[in-house]
Amino acid sequence: MSMSIDSIIARLGGPEATASLTGVGTEAIRKWRQAQAIPARHWPVIAQAAGLSLEDLRPASTMTDRHSPATGSSKTGTSMPDARPDGATAALVLADGSVFWGKGFGAFTPAQSAAENAGQSMGEICFSTSMTGYQETLTDPSFAGQIITFTFPHIGNVGTNAEDDEAARVFARGLVVKEDVTAPANWRATEGLDAWLKERGVTGIAGVDTRALTLRIRDGGPQTAILLFPQDGRIDPEAATSTARAWPGLEGMDLAQDVTCSAPYQWTQSVWEWPHATRPVPEKRRRVVAVDFGAKRNILRCLVAAGCDVTVVPATTSGEEILALKPEGVFLSNGPGDPAATARYAVPAIRAVLEAGVPLFGICLGHQLLALTLGAKTYKMEQGHRGANQPVKDLASGRVEITSQNHGFAVDADTLPEDARVTHVSLFDGSNEGIASDRYAAFSVQYHPEASPGPSDSFYLFERFTALIDRTAGAHN
């Protein structure tokens, strides 16, 4: 192949234009990039549109990058023993054949022969630009099915503590860091990151050139990766590459059912506020049902701090069951996976809430599900937004907020109905960050106003929700 897959796709106008030209989905384009090959049946139309010959599209012999943890450089080779650097105990293997060597920490992965266990260390590779809050990130249910690369080099230096967990367990499939994890130096730390991960069965790899890896993700889009840290030390990158290429990816996956609560429960804790234990709770309280698609604990704290009595219910709760709780407002939480897959059971419930006239507020996956209920579409992003430094513009006020985000899918604003409007946009790429309905008492945002980690610029949205509840109640009286 005389040109790279990425160059060919760029010449055709990008992934979406390529998908439209060939009559496939953007997920297929992602898999072409993983395999570094285009199926032969598409060669004629691509060659004609890109001004190439059929020979230009024929794959060359496969060559594999081997990235050294010691230097961050790469060399080409086909023999794993020659490519493995001295001292390397772990490897991150991507579906495109790239191998990043490093030092493993946390839990060992099963031996590669234990194929039934491969899934626990395999997922979509992504990157987060957050400089702090790694514990909150790792326990965020929205990261289910993903291996996280932290672009900030020093991860683990403040240790861990029980108070900073955003859920009862770690949902990320693994983590990738630049520098070795050192002993914690923080007065709140009760345990080091290495031991904390080991107890939770999660694997990490250090010594990786995270800048090179991040650029690969940025330029090539999301792809499957496998993190290998076997106790016997035997690592077969070629076999891991084949396994990674067979994984279907997050598109089409409903992961909300894997992370949701099993039964309804009450949440009463408010936001922590130094030097007090928690922020005082307003005297006026509104009955709010929070649908748990993978809710972070700090979201629930923010709802309480804004004046809500919160009942959390499982993701699959029907509209009839939600309305039977007589809520004054309904909240749709964040969560992992493809919103179009979760919509199968979520959209009917949300539609019932809207038709009943109950005010509704959604965050992240909840935002996408509201959009789908209103008739819009969602799509898989090329890189996604993950980090605590994402600028968003409020179109009504013109105010710019620095936000915390974690999403790989987005709402297609062009598909919104006439009675819904865009309220917020990303200043990174112009993608949709918020909507509001003119027909229903409902609004949502793509980003995380609760932060944890991140800035608190957007807490006003929780107060906007309670104000909407009060206005709706007043109109009915």
- Which residues make up each annotated binding site for L-glutamine? 142, 335, 337, 365, 368, 406, 408-409
Inter-CA distances, 415 with 187, 373, 385, 410, Å:
50, 12, 21, 12
Q: Which one-letter amino acid corresponds to residue 473?
A: A
Q: Which one-letter amino acid corresponds to residue 280?
A: P
The vertex-462 CA angle with 256 and 139, nearest 5°, equals 40
For the CA atoms of 222, 422, 457, 429, what is the dihedral angle to 10 degrees?
A: 40
Backbone angles phi, psi at 364, to 5 degrees: 60, -110
Q: Give the 3-state secondary structure of residue 226.
A: strand
- Our answer to whether residue 166 is catalytic in this structure is no
CA dist., res. 221 & res. 85, Å (int): 27
Per annotation, catalytic residue among 364, 367, 385, 433: 364
Per annotation, catalytic residue among 367, 407, 424, 448: 448
- Our answer to whether residue 126 is catalytic in this structure is no
Return the structure tokens found at 178.
Answer: 């630049």
Inter-CA distances, 460 with 113, 281, 311, 423, Å:
52, 15, 21, 14
DSSP state of 276: B
Burial annotation 450-475 (CB, 10 A radius, 16+ → b, else e)? bbbbbeebbbebbebbbebbbebeee
Shortest CA distance to 260 belongs to which of 287, 299, 291? Answer: 291
- Our answer to whether residue 364 is catalytic in this structure is yes
DSSP state of 203: E
Q: Which residues are annotated binding-site positions?
A: 142, 335, 337, 365, 368, 406, 408-409
CA dist., res. 224 & res. 147, Å (int): 9
Q: Give the 3-state secondary structure of residue 446.
A: coil
* Class of residue 42 by CB neighbours under 10 A (exposed 0-12, middle 13-18, buried 19+): middle
Which stretches does DSSP call E strand in 201-285? 203-206, 223-228, 265-267
Shortest CA distance to 33 belongs to which of 303, 194, 249, 239? Answer: 249
The vertex-472 CA angle with 401 and 283, nearest 5°, equals 75
Name the residues annotated as catalytic: 364, 448, 450
